[in-house]
Amino acid sequence: MAAKLSYGTGRRKSAIARVWIKPGEGKITINDKDFKDFLGRPVLEILVKSPLVALGMEDRFDVVAKTRGGGISGAAGAVRLGISRALLEEDETLRQPLRAGGFLTRDPRVKERKKYGRKKARRGFQFVKR
């Protein structure tokens, strides 16, 4: 019999991550690459592992994630939320510690759209006096 897979979807900025966790030794894979190779920055590596570290489960689950859209930072945040939701599907009693750590809250900040008559979302064009 195959090991039970738990699934969670994570979103951040314009990135979407589909995350599966299964019992294992703590291997994390994002888009078929080791997460350290995919992310490239130690800060993002810590961010992705944070829900597992907070619960003391770093070496109890293997994580497989597929991300689309956005950049590396957005993908890292999306994977973090996906891991948290998958852990919740695995064990409902983890809701309180995950909620207390802020791991179940989707970060609502997204890039503001550019407006007409402006150079970017809010910045106007440079004014020339003479």
Over the chain, what is the mean pLDDT? 94
CA distance 51 to 63: 12
Predicted pLDDT of residue 2: 57
Give the residue ranges of the chain where pLDDT is below 70: 1-2
Q: Quick one: CATH architecture of 6-100?
A: 2-Layer Sandwich (3.30)
- Count Cβ neighbours within 10 Å for each residue of 5-20 and write b for 16 or more, e otherwise: ebebebbbbebbbbbb
Predicted pLDDT of residue 130: 87
